[in-house]
Structure 1
């Protein structure tokens, strides 16, 4: 078995061990403090079990099945977004074209056709969508509707497809694309957690009080430093990146993860909702769980692609 395969199994085993420890911890807390409400925390951990199990299956499966999984995630994210976004009744046909573009984007990903992957949505879908909308003949709210739909494609499909593309990168130096995905996703989630913990413990100065009141300067700095440190430790072990590039990647993920979080929070406030959905009990909707990844995925992908491909 290749070294990368061993490393992949070790990583997944470590993730499941942490999740098992969290499950035992919540079980103990419920026994010791039955008077307290542990429902939300219990729901979060249960949702994490589902997420991690599905993610592990996708990572360990053949490439086509893994890409299908990420394509389905993009479909769910776009559907959730369009459920919240105000669109016109006359946009029904253009909306169908949006969904039709998802498998096409992931076909380019599966083919490792970087040139078409990188321009299909930002160029071709961007130009085709308003042209198709013109044929409907409804000009009221035209620009707003086109903007809403294109933003949805860029976030839920184009940005997230960068995670899937990492799976297809050629194995070099004994490292697999699956390890890159684990590195990116794990650091993105740990960045969210560490920013929350640092903000709760030391945070007083709020950064975006009108958008996300819980975001503090201490949380941002502590989260970025923690993520950068973890990246420096795990980057050389899981990827081809050296120590210096791992540090930069960690800082990039920490800062961009924060940006993704607050940007999606602003969108949800514009829609007048707290959570994007109820698909994941304890977490909200799928966009609530992917908000940071929408920013970290393309930025980390292109950073890695530039230096190592």
Structure 2
């Protein structure tokens, strides 16, 4: 059933993305280069990248999937810290975040040590970072610099690591299919992002917080989340959920995903940057693509673990 479900999922995704790609090219040929058409094409290209990553995760097996996400966490953490002065990234504190904290966090998933996985960064990482920082003997900007690394670790490593951690959940009757839980999460959250944009463009009138994100509207939020719930209910066959359960979980994931993107937009505004990076041409860096997942993944993971895991 797993193979059949994966084939059906990818046939659907590739079909939709092919139509979107051809549609974007046709609109550009007909109407020329406009901001709306370019944004649509960039979002389509970003979806091709996400489908490629998801394909790698499915084909690679657990070990390479964890290595892939560890690499994504390292890139996302670098993007988060790179806006700061260069000397901050070269400190022993930052080096420990990359060389010690990331490998241990993903090793804990590999050995399925759930009890330590969920507290390693919030407790031990939280204490380790200021200890290493204070040993450098610099007090100017101490709290700010330590907080930067704490936030980076929580977002780019702790929260993002909950995506591959879905592979360690033991759900009766769903053995060997956990990769579909990962696919479902990515599908719902990223669909919500795109649909919020489309609803906002079509009927958006009331800005949520223009100083944070001028394009976010109440109508976009409501329409995007509602549409993502419909997407989740449609793809309930990927999961151990009933259609109604899939709808509720989609609502939770899409809502948290929205606020994840909103919070990271506020951080970008505070730093005076438009994008976290330039890895995906025209659409920012890794953190720009996973900003919704970093808020949605931990809530999604623990909700499933509490209600469905053995």
TM range (shorter): over 0.9
1:199-245 deviation digits (Å, cap 9, x = unpaired): 1111111111110111111111111211222222322x111122332
Please give the TM-score of this superposition, normalised by the length of structure 2.
Answer: 0.92
C-alpha deviation, 1:271, in angstroms: 0.8
CA distance in 2, matches of 1:90, 1:240: 43
The residue matched to 1:137 in structure 2 has which SS?
coil
CA distance in 2, matches of 1:171, 1:217: 36
Task: Identify the residue that residue 163 of structure 2 maps to in structure 1.
Answer: 163
Q: How many residues align?
A: 306
C-alpha deviation, 1:112, in angstroms: 1.5
1:139-179 deviation digits (Å, cap 9, x = unpaired): 11111111110000000000000001012323642461110
Task: Identify the residue that residue 196 of structure 2 maps to in structure 1.
Answer: 195
Let me know the Cα RMSD of the aligned residues. Answer: 2.0
Asked if the contact 1:169–1:177 (Cα under 8 Å) also holds between the matched residues in 2, the reply is yes
The yes-or-no answer on 1:104 pairing with 2:107 is no
Asked if the contact 2:171–2:308 (Cα under 8 Å) also holds between the matched residues in 1, the reply is no
C-alpha deviation, 1:74, in angstroms: 0.5
Q: Which moved more, 1:248-257 or 1:166-175?
A: 166-175
The residue matched to 2:250 in structure 1 has which SS?
helix
Task: Identify the residue that residue 151 of structure 2 maps to in structure 1.
Answer: 151
Task: Identify the residue that residue 207 of structure 2 maps to in structure 1.
Answer: 206
Task: Identify the residue that residue 19 of structure 2 maps to in structure 1.
Answer: 21
Change (3 A) 1:41 1:198: closer
* Structure 1: stretches of 5+ with no match in the other structure: none
Q: Which moved more, 1:126-135 or 1:162-171?
A: 162-171
Asked if the contact 2:66–2:106 (Cα under 8 Å) also holds between the matched residues in 1, the reply is yes
CA distance in 1, matches of 2:267, 2:209: 14
Please give the TM-score of this superposition, normalised by the length of structure 1.
Answer: 0.92
CA distance in 1, matches of 2:185, 2:89: 39
Task: Identify the residue that residue 227 of structure 2 maps to in structure 1.
Answer: 226
| Equivalent residue runs for 1:53-68 within 5 Å | 53-68=52-67
Change (3 A) 1:90 1:271: closer
Task: Identify the residue that residue 69 of structure 1 maps to in structure 2.
Answer: 68
* Structure 2: stretches of 5+ with no match in the other structure: none
Asked if the contact 1:78–1:157 (Cα under 8 Å) also holds between the matched residues in 2, the reply is yes
Asked if the contact 1:207–1:215 (Cα under 8 Å) also holds between the matched residues in 2, the reply is yes
Task: Identify the residue that residue 178 of structure 2 maps to in structure 1.
Answer: 177
The yes-or-no answer on 1:274 pairing with 2:274 is yes
Task: Identify the residue that residue 44 of structure 2 maps to in structure 1.
Answer: 45
Task: Identify the residue that residue 242 of structure 1 maps to in structure 2.
Answer: 242
C-alpha deviation, 1:4, in angstroms: 1.8
Change (3 A) 1:172 1:270: same
Q: Which moved more, 1:89-98 or 1:112-121?
A: 89-98
The yes-or-no answer on 1:93 pairing with 2:92 is yes
Change (3 A) 1:130 1:36: closer
C-alpha deviation, 1:253, in angstroms: 1.4
Q: Which moved more, 1:151-160 or 1:123-132?
A: 123-132
